[in-house]
């Protein structure tokens, strides 16, 4: 890629994303669709301003790697163990049944057995990048359907390995296939075991030493090295690089530096993942619709219906409700980014003809483009089924019971609603508890699980899933009620993070004494914000303002803690 081409791509990428992303948000659709539309608009099928090339593909791969790294940071080995049934059970069943059914259908249409196997199992793999981004944006990653989707996607990432091993062997007639697959599985198990064993012993120590340097750039470089380095190691062992980054994230989730690492990599993940989605949009060949439109439409329909139908059928035996199974079927029916890899290898090996490969790659791209509206439709259908079966409030109560690693927000007023909105923007689920039925109804109307009642009562907190929550945020403006809630939480859940809203420093001290881990004095934060605006009027640089306010904040909260 020439330097001028790179500059042209970046210019067009940022401009198109800047225009289409806010539009997609305003229309209430996923940002994924905005990025895909941007790629289609500026690519060969649109204005022909840029073309997909090797540099775009590399940036895309790194973006997917960072997405899995951040998802891993939100888990831990204990929470990952909870995905075993979804990954090993549902995921294995989905890959095997979908791959076999699609292969049989393709063979019935005259495709050679070897090509049918490779194409069928390639199309059985869904898009990790698109689905996880959709789940993060909707705050559903911590819900039952989101956890099931994550488990299936992780197993699919593992399934890429035997599929790539099988391609050259199928090109030679399948000789030695079983032995090669067994060796690949052994290498994968050893690689993961070594990575986990070493990572658990050195990551905490390594980050502690770097933290002592007090050099943010060094800490960031270490994080980039860990994410990309583990990806390179697993790729060298025959596994996918994003899977290695995911495991690194899981290991870092058990250290004290999880939140700092997440903050460091989020900008990279967003920008590079956007390049991936734009790259998919660039790959869409509209001219193919004119030449082979009927075949393409037939293949896309077959893929979405067959794969979605099998996912729906498999959901119930693995513990999903009808609504959850339907939602999962609408989330994962597309083929994903790894299909480009496996089908490309099959074309190079002569297993799949270039003509057929082009058509199936277009099928993959079209399915990915349809993913955001499909996911939205599935979520709405699942909600309607739940509400028809048990009433609207009951369906949202069920969502509250499904959530884990979420935040319980005590108080659904102005402050509580703002907290919930910020959490949702960052892909974190929340359940509100409020004594005002009208507030609860308003929250439920916008899809937020909410419980009516006094949050200081243990039974109400349990209904909000406090035992599975990561934190509780107390936003009530009633000082006595807030202190009572903090006291109840310290008594029943002493290890839970409790962040409480305080009216002033004196109230903050009482909240800390009652059991809050953090008390945020709103009069202090309000005065600091006013001071910041005043300093901006004198054109004082932002970092200097932040340092000044941080020092004042630390001093005031230190006084609060001593009072």
The total of other beta-carbon atoms located within 10 Å of residue 54's CB is: 8
> Which domains can be identified in the chain, with CATH numbers?
60-277+292-389 (1.20.1530.20), 398-562 (3.40.50.720)
Amino acid 302: pLDDT: 92
- Residues 6 or more apart whose CB falls under 8 angstroms from that of 223 comprise 261, 264, 265
Mean pLDDT over 401-417 rounds to: 83
CA-to-CA separations, 89 to 80, 125, 244, 419, 512, in angstroms, rounded? 14, 16, 21, 36, 45
Tell me what pLDDT residue 331 has. 94
Question: What pLDDT is stored for residue 392 in this prediction?
Answer: 47
The 3-state DSSP composition of the chain as helix, strand, coil percent (nearest 5) reads 75, 5, 20
Give, as one character, the DSSP assignment of residue 452.
E
Which residue bears the tokens 């490779």?
118
Which of 358, 364, 360 lies closest to 337 in space, CA to CA?
364
Mind listing the pLDDT tens digit for each residue in 307-332? Answer: 999 999 999 898 888 888 999 999 99
Q: How many CA atoms lie within 13 A of 46 on its CB side?
A: 20
Among 26-30, 207-211, 294-298, the least confident range: 26-30
Characterize the bridge pairing of strands 471-474 and 407-410: parallel
- According to the 3-state scheme, what is the secondary structure of 322-370? HHHHHHHHHHCCCCCHHHHHHHHHHHHHCCCCHHHHHHHHHHHHHHHHH
Q: Name which of 149, 87, 552 is nearest 330 in CA terms.
A: 149
Q: Is the pLDDT of residue 563 over 60?
A: no
Name the nearest CA neighbour of 488 among 465, 459, 468.
459
Tokens of 313: 């059928």
Using a cut of 0.75, tell me whether the model's pTM lies above it: no
pLDDT tens digits, residue range 87-110? 888 999 999 999 999 999 999 988
- The distance from CA 536 to its chain's CA centroid, rounded to whole angstroms, is 36
DSSP state of 506: H
Instruction: Supply φ then ψ for residue 101, to 5 degrees.
Output: -65, -45
How far is residue 465's CA from residue 401's CA, in Å, rounded to a whole number?
6
CA angle 247-251-254, nearest 5°? Answer: 150
């Amino acid at each position: 890629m020439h330097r001028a081409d790179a500059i042209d791509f970046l210019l067009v990428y940022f401009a198109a994303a800047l225009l289409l992303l806010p539009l997609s948000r305003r229309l209430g659709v996923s940002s994924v669709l905005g990025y895909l539309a941007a790629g289609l608009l500026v690519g060969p099928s649109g204005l022909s301003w840029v073309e997909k090339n090797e540099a775009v593909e590399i940036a895309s791969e790194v973006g997917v790697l960072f997405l899995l790294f951040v998802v891993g940071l939100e888990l831990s080995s204990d929470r990952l163990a909870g995905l075993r049934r979804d990954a090993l059970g549902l995921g294995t069943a989905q890959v095997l049944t979908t791959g076999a059914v699609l292969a049989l259908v393709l063979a019935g249409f005259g495709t050679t057995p070897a090509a049918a196997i490779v194409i069928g199992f390639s199309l059985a793999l869904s898009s990790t990048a698109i689905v996880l981004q959709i789940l993060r944006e909707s705050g559903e990653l911590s819900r039952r359907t989101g956890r099931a989707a994550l488990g299936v996607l992780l197993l699919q990432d593992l399934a890429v390995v035997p599929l790539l091993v099988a391609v050259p062997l199928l090109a030679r007639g399948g000789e030695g296939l079983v032995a090669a697959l067994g060796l690949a599985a052994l290498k994968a198990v050893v690689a993961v075991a070594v990575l986990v064993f070493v990572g658990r012993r050195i990551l905490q120590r390594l980050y502690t030493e770097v933290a002592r340097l007090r050099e943010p750039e060094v800490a960031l470089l270490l994080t980039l090295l860990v994410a990309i380095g583990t990806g390179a190691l697993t790729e060298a062992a025959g596994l996918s690089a994003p899977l290695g980054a995911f495991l690194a994230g899981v290991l870092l989730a058990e250290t004290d530096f999880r939140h700092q690492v997440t903050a460091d990599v989020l900008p990279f993940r967003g920008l590079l993942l956007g390049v991936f989605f734009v790259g998919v949009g660039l790959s869409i060949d509209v001219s193919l619709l004119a030449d082979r439109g009927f075949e393409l439409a037939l293949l896309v329909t077959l893929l979405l219906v067959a794969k979605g139908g099998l996912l729906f059928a498999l959901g119930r035996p693995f513990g999903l409700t009808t609504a959850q199974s339907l939602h999962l079927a609408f989330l994962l029916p597309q083929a994903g980014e790894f299909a480009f890899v496996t089908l490309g290898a099959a074309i190079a090996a002569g297993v799949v003809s270039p003509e057929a490969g082009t058509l199936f790659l277009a099928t993959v791209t079209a399915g990915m483009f349809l993913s955001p509206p499909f996911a939205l439709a599935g979520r709405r259908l699942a909600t309607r089924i739940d509400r028809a079966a048990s009433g609207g409030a009951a369906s949202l109560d069920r969502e509250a019971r499904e959530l884990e690693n979420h935040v319980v927000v005590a108080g659904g007023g102005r402050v509580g609603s703002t907290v919930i909105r910020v959490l949702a923007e960052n892909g974190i689920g929340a359940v509100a508890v409020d004594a005002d039925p009208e507030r609860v109804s308003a929250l439920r109307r916008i899809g937020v699980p909410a419980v009516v009642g006094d949050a200081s009562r243990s039974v109400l907190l349990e209904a909000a899933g406090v035992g599975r929550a990561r934190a509780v945020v107390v936003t009530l403006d009633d000082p006595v009620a807030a202190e009572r809630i903090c006291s109840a939480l310290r008594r029943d859940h002493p290890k839970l993070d409790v962040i409480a809203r305080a009216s002033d420093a004196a109230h903050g001290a009482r909240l800390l004494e009652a059991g809050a881990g953090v008390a945020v004095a709103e009069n202090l934060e309000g005065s600091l914000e006013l001071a910041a605006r005043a300093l901006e009027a004198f054109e004082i640089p932002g970092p200097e303002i932040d340092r000044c306010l941080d020092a004042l904040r630390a001093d005031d909260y230190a006084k609060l803690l001593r009072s």
